[in-house]
């Protein structure tokens, strides 16, 4: 049986978005086997959270945050399935946290799918150009490009960004945890970030 180290717990948490104690319990139960521990967590609720992802989210609220003495303002629409959940303190805190995060991290899109194809193509071109004449095989360059794209997503996509409050947790993991806790599908549909004097493109 492998020792259940903090690093192992963190790895499992990163992979599943489950809570620290749940990860530790799953690893203890499976003798430190990562794949089996992921299975245990899925059976205990993460799989059901994935199932909820298809359900309509017509309720929710607008999280808002004003920063730097009124110089930066954010509105973020966070959705759930019922007004009952939208009124809970936990849900209101989540919406506020997400708005605060957007003010600080300045994402450009909610999710990867929102990035226009031409923007992604341009990023890929830039990364490929960095290795032109390097002599590396094309398949190796493509793997490096994919790796760089992952970093790009973490910079520009809200759900891929590490939380400014806890960099060990992504915004997607925060949303997934809320889905697991409330028993409802929780989503972020859109946001707008205003910066005084910045009229955008």
What would the mean pLDDT of 34-41 be, rounded to a whole number?
84
Superfamily of chain region 6-52: Ubiquitin-associated (UBA) domain (1.10.8.10)
> Taking the domains of the chain in order of start, what are their residue ranges?
6-52, 59-110+157-195, 116-156
The CATH architecture to which 59-110+157-195 belongs is 2-Layer Sandwich (3.30)
**What pTM was computed for the model?**
0.69
pLDDT in the model for residue 48: 47
> Is it the case that residue 50 has pLDDT exceeding 60?
no
pLDDT in tens, 135-144: 888 888 889 9
pLDDT in tens, 72-103: 999 999 999 999 999 999 999 999 999 999 99
Print the SS3 string covering the chain: CCCCCHHHHHHHHHHHCCCHHHHHHHHHHCCCCHHHHHHHHHHHHHHHHHHHCCCCCCEEEEEEEEEHHHCEEEEEEEEECCHHHHCCHHHHHHHHHHHHHHHHHCCCECCHHHCCHHHHHHHHHHHHHHCCCCCCCHHHHHHHHHHHHHHHHHHHEHHHCECCCCCCCEHHHHHHHHHHHHCCCCEEEEEEEEECCCCCC
More confident site: 98 or 21: 98
What would the mean pLDDT of 29-58 be, rounded to a whole number?
71
CATH for 116-156 is 1.10.286.20
- The token duo for 157 is 């996509």
């Amino acid at each position: 049986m492998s020792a259940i180290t903090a690093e192992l717990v963190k790895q499992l948490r990163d992979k599943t978005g489950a809570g620290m104690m749940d990860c530790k319990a799953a690893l203890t139960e499976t003798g430190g086997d990562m794949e089996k521990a992921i299975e245990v967590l899925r059976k205990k609720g993460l799989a059901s959270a994935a199932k909820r992802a298809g359900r309509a989210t017509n309720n929710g609220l607008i999280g808002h945050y004003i920063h730097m003495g009124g110089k930066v303002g954010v509105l973020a629409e966070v959705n759930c399935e019922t007004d009952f959940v939208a009124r809970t303190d936990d849900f209101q805190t989540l919406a506020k946290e997400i708005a605060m995060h957007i003010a600080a991290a300045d994402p450009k899109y909610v999710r990867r799918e929102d990035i226009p194809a031409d923007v992604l193509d341009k990023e890929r071109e830039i990364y490929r150009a960095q290795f032109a004449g390097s002599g590396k095989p094309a398949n190796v360059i493509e793997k490096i490009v994919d790796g760089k794209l992952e970093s790009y997503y973490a910079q520009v996509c809200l759900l891929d960004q590490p939380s400014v409050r806890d960099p060990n947790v992504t915004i997607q993991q925060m949303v997934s945890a809320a889905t697991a806790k409330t028993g409802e599908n929780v989503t972020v549909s859109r946001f707008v970030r205003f910066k005084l004097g910045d009229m955008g493109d």
